[in-house]
Amino acid sequence: MNYIGSKHSILDFIESSILDFTKEEGKVFCDIFAGTGVVAKRFKQDGYDVISNDLQYYSYVLNKHYIENNKEITFNGLKKIGIKDVFIYLNKLDNYQGFIYNNYTLEGSNERQYFTEYNAIKIDSIREQIEKWYKKGNIIDNEYYYLIACLLEAADKVANTASVYEAFLKKVKRSAQNELILKPLPIIINKNTYNKVYIEDSNELIKCISGDILYLDPPYNSRKYSSNYHILETIAYGDYPMIKGKTGVRTDSFKSDYNKVNNVAIAFEELIKKANFKYIFLSYNDEGIMSLEQIEKIMKKYGKYHRYEKNHKRYKANKDKEVSKKTTIEYLHALKKYD
Ligand SMILES: C[S@@+](CC[C@H](N)C(=O)[O-])C[C@H]1O[C@@H](n2cnc3c(N)ncnc32)[C@H](O)[C@@H]1O
């Protein structure tokens, strides 16, 4: 998934810097602003017990699958369909015009062209079927999250956007014309790990958890994830929210303290102070609303500080827009907390 602030392309840098600073000490790794879960996934693969968390429900669903699922999915309650044929069955569904069709297609909403008519009906039909199976007890929790995660990844591939859901394109782009295909996502199996996923505000969760390595990757600016990814949130919930405006954004979309210039430093310091973790790492780039000096000053109060850095290709939400700056510097701030 093309996600704002995704660490997909700098995973090796993050992993090697963390291993260098901690000297590979520690067993419990927490990714408290997990987003797509790429960092949490890497540390699960490496054998750490992982705690993952994010405020958004689509992220919770993705991480419930990638982080908590730790064995093959069996679909024992769907024996009538045939375990192997579950995806064939779901891919044939095209009979339900639901919330996505009625609000995010030209045909259903008369304005918003986020999906083709066919793909929107398919999203609605598959999402409805998953819910029916779950309510009837045909699928259990881990299968439920697995199937919704597969649907989120598949829907995102055929969305008619420049990349985020704050706007749709006037013309249906090539990838959005493709038929949505629900595919089984990989399952990360590491039997040596114990993993847990939360959906909470970071600064609340921090009071209830402990571990060895805390990785922080908060938003860098005022762009709200809840409105940038509002349709993924609705597909994940499978609900019928109040929406507004040209883009049909959920009225319950909200700003995190980490998006607010006046709150971010206070929230950040509180998180560091309360953290019951020996090592703390913060990913932040040189365009963030907290300055390098501000971060360093806060972190130095709580222990031994070091900084790693790397040039990184700039994220472009709109590929057609000219941007003058091609790269940013990605910092990984590292702290070994005083006892
Ligand atoms: C920069 S992104 C994380 C990207 C992630 N590391 C990845 O590679 O996909 C920041 C994430 O923080 C989440 N977030 C924002 N404020 C939060 C808060 N107060 N508590 C928990 N998560 C929050 C957002 O929903 C978003 O997914």
| pLDDT tens digit sequence for 105-162 | 999 988 899 999 999 999 999 999 999 999 999 999 999 999 999 999 999 999 999 9
Tokens representing residue 110 in the block: 């008369």
Render pLDDT for 280-317 as a digit per residue (tens, 0 to 9). Answer: 999 999 999 999 999 999 999 999 999 999 988 765 55
Q: Are 333 and 285 in contact (CB under 8 A)?
A: no
Q: Is 332 in the pocket of ligand 1 (CB under 6 A)?
A: no
SS3 call for 176: helix
* 292: Cα within 13 Å, side-chain hemisphere: 11
Q: To test ligand 1's pocket by mutation, which of 54, 226, 285 has the most ligand atoms within 8 angstroms of CB?
A: 54
Rounded Cα distance, 37 and 67, in Å: 8
Q: What is the pTM of this model?
A: 0.96
Tell me how crowded residue 136 is: count the other CB atoms within 10 A of its CB: 9
* Residue in the structure block whose two tokens are 């300055």: 291
Name the pLDDT band for 321 (thresholds 50, 70, 90): very low
Q: To test ligand 1's pocket by mutation, which of 11, 256, 257 has the most ligand atoms within 8 angstroms of CB?
A: 256
Distance 92 CA to ligand 1 centre (A): 34
Q: Are strands 243-244 and 49-53 parallel, antiparallel or unpaired?
A: unpaired
Q: Is 270 in the pocket of ligand 1 (CB under 6 A)?
A: no
Q: Which domains does the chain have, with CATH numbers?
A: 1-71+190-219+256-339 (3.40.50.150), 75-186+226-255 (no CATH)
Tell me how crowded residue 304 is: count the other CB atoms within 10 A of its CB: 13
Of 284, 287, 255, 254, nearest to 272 (Cα)?
Answer: 284
